[in-house]
């Protein structure tokens, strides 16, 4: 079946053009002015509206179990918010627990997502065992599309910590499979040293452990590793302009990339002082206003090249149950609803970016890193018809946080970015900001999950 979107301004990779889009089944089959069509073809009139490629969120936490608190957003509730706000693909996480094989870890998460996702999805894999037989196992999963891996330089208690030497060894062994490596950078030695002298009952002390120096130090070590091994490494959720600066310099001689999230660009550490301070705890933490301002400036200059949500939601009850010791407060903040409208308003609105530049950071670059480009991340012939039709000057609305929280950390913001229609692989799934049918979850995995 063919569908046409006509009269809209279409955001291609380098320009916005008034052209028609022809969709055949799930993919874009033609682009151009006044495409010929049969009289009975289905037509969407997008006059006065803008069409962008569906957003690829490179960093989404859904339905993960925690040490103290489970995350409140399921695949269903999280991807509902995502697709209503223009995100058509999420990159979530699978962590191998100490009592699981990699296959068990993958099938447990695949079951959670199966028929429960409103957008397409894939995963970054965190294996935690590395014997020869484990590497063999990993290589089998790489063949099925698990080509992105996340490792941590910290989180000993969660069994995620790896020394720089160990990361070096793992990345060298994975190199031949051409993976994309992602690293959470905070230097464990600095964190544990800083942790000795703080009052854990005072949440404002949290950034005194998770300092900018701890981040920068780990970033520098990972840059060194990337320079030696020459395998693509992506640094997760950067919070400081200094670290971003080091990465920009390193790009001259190694394949390193990075990302930031709305939290570090819009919020500062004064959020900890409010009555809802605990809701703003995340790792690495919010920084001073001076630091936030520099993050805004770096972001406005196009660094880092990926903008993602790092969405992680917990129920209001989880915050009420958390003890006053900040080590027991759930860490993470929602942003699936904020990612597109907040960065649109900042970068296109305030900093006058053209739209293709924004979509490079939200769709093309993350799709490229996830190795799903050109199927995802771009409006081009042959790509999946994941399309977002929106009005940048629509009705004013609030920025939503999560369907599983009453507290909205974004409540002080509003936007005129009005999502009119979202197509997932050619099918309209969202109309006027709402799901057409809550009962139909059309999202599919982009990795093969059967053994
Ligand atoms: Zn994360």
Q: 26 alpha carbon to ligand 1 midpoint, in Å?
A: 31
Q: 59 alpha carbon to ligand 1 midpoint, in Å?
A: 6
What is the pLDDT, as a whole number, of residue 323?
Answer: 80
The whole-number average pLDDT for the span 123-139 is 96
For domain 54-369, give its CATH number from 3.30.1360.70, 3.20.20.140, 3.40.50.720, 3.40.50.20.
3.20.20.140
Bridge partners, 304 (sequence order)? none
The whole-number average pLDDT for the span 426-439 is 98
Q: Name the pTM for this structure.
A: 0.97
Domain boundaries, the chain: 2-52+379-435, 54-369
Of the two residues 98 and 451, the one the predictor is more confident about is 98
Could you check whether 2-52+379-435 and 54-369 share the same CATH topology?
A: no
Lowest mean pLDDT among 77-86, 190-199, 208-217: 190-199
Q: 190 alpha carbon to ligand 1 midpoint, in Å?
A: 20
Task: Write out pLDDT tens, residues 376-421.
Answer: 999 999 999 999 999 999 999 999 999 999 999 999 999 999 999 9
What is the pLDDT, as a whole number, of residue 98?
Answer: 87
- Read off the pLDDT band of 180 (50, 70, 90): very high
Burial class (CB in 10 A: 0-12, 13-18, 19+), 432: exposed
Task: Write out pLDDT tens, residues 197-238.
Answer: 899 999 999 999 999 999 999 999 999 999 999 999 999 999
The whole-number average pLDDT for the span 267-272 is 96
Q: 426 alpha carbon to ligand 1 midpoint, in Å?
A: 30
What is the pLDDT, as a whole number, of residue 189?
Answer: 95
Q: 309 alpha carbon to ligand 1 midpoint, in Å?
A: 9
Q: 149 alpha carbon to ligand 1 midpoint, in Å?
A: 13
What is the pLDDT, as a whole number, of residue 304?
Answer: 97
Q: 197 alpha carbon to ligand 1 midpoint, in Å?
A: 26
Q: Count the Cβ atoms, other than its own, within 10 Å of residue 227.
A: 14
Q: 261 alpha carbon to ligand 1 midpoint, in Å?
A: 10
Task: Inform me whether the pLDDT recorded for 451 exceeds 80.
Answer: no
| Chain centre distance of CA 316 | 23
What is the pLDDT, as a whole number, of residue 321?
Answer: 83
- Rounded CA-CA distance 197/272 in Å is 19
Q: 440 alpha carbon to ligand 1 midpoint, in Å?
A: 28
Could you tell me how many residues make up the chain? Answer: 451
Q: In angstroms, how far is the first alpha carbon of the chain from the final one?
A: 33
Q: 66 alpha carbon to ligand 1 midpoint, in Å?
A: 13
Q: For residues 26 and 385, is the Cβ–Cβ distance under 8 A?
A: yes
Determine the topology of domain 2-52+379-435 in CATH: Urease, subunit C; domain 1 (2.30.40)
What is the pLDDT, as a whole number, of residue 359?
Answer: 98
Task: Inform me whether the pLDDT recorded for 67 exceeds 80.
Answer: no
What is the pLDDT, as a whole number, of residue 410?
Answer: 98
Q: 61 alpha carbon to ligand 1 midpoint, in Å?
A: 6
Q: 425 alpha carbon to ligand 1 midpoint, in Å?
A: 27
The whole-number average pLDDT for the span 429-436 is 98
The whole-number average pLDDT for the span 96-108 is 95
């Amino acid at each position: 079946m063919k569908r046409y979107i006509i009269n809209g301004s279409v955001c291609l990779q380098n320009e916005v053009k008034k052209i028609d889009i022809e969709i055949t089944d799930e993919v874009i089959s033609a682009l151009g002015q006044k495409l010929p069509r049969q009289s009975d073809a289905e037509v969407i009139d997008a006059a006065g509206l803008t069409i962008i490629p569906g957003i690829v969120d490179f960093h989404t936490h859904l339905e993960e179990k925690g040490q103290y608190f489970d995350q409140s957003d399921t695949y269903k509730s999280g991807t509902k918010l995502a697709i209503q706000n223009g995100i058509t693909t999420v990159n979530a996480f699978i962590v191998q627990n100490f009592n699981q094989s990699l296959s068990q870890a993958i099938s447990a998460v695949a079951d959670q997502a199966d028929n429960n996702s409103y957008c397409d999805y894939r995963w970054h894999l965190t294996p935690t065992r590395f014997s020869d037989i484990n590497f063999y196992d990993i290589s089998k999963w790489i063949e099925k599309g698990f080509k992105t891996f996340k490792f941590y330089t910290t989180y000993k208690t969660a069994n995620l910590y790896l020394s720089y030497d160990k990361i070096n060894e793992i990345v060298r062994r994975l190199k031949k499979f051409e993976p994309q490596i992602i690293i959470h950078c905070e230097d464990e030695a600095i964190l544990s040293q800083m942790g000795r002298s703080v009052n854990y009952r005072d949440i404002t002390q949290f950034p005194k452990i998770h300092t900018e120096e701890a981040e920068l130090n780990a970033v520098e070590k990972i840059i060194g590793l990337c320079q030696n091994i020459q395998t693509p490494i992506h640094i997760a959720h950067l919070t400081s302009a200094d670290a971003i600066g080091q990465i920009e310099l390193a790009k001259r001689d190694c394949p390193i990339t990075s990302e930031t999230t709305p939290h570090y660009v819009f919020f500062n550490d004064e959020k900890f002082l409010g009555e809802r301070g605990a809701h703003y705890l995340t790792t690495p933490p919010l920084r001073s206003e001076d630091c936030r301002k520099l993050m805004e400036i770096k972001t406005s200059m196009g660094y880092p090249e990926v903008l993602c949500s790092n969405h992680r939601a917990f129920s209001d009850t989880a915050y009420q149950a958390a003890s006053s010791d900040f080590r027991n407060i759930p860490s993470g903040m929602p942003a699936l609803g904020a990612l597109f409208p907040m960065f649109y308003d900042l970068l296109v609105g305030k900093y006058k970016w053209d739209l293709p530049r924004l979509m490079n950071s939200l769709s093309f670059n993350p799709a490229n890193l996830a190795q799903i480009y050109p199927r995802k991340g771009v409006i081009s012939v042959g790509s999946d018809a994941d399309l977002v039709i929106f009005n940048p000057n629509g009705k004013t609305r609030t920025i939503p946080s999560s369907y599983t929280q009453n507290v909205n950390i974004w409540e002080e913001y509003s936007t005129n970015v009005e999502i009119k229609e979202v197509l997932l692989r050619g099918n309209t799934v969202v109309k006027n900001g709402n799901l057409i049918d809550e009962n139909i979850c059309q999202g599919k995995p982009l990795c093969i999950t059967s053994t």
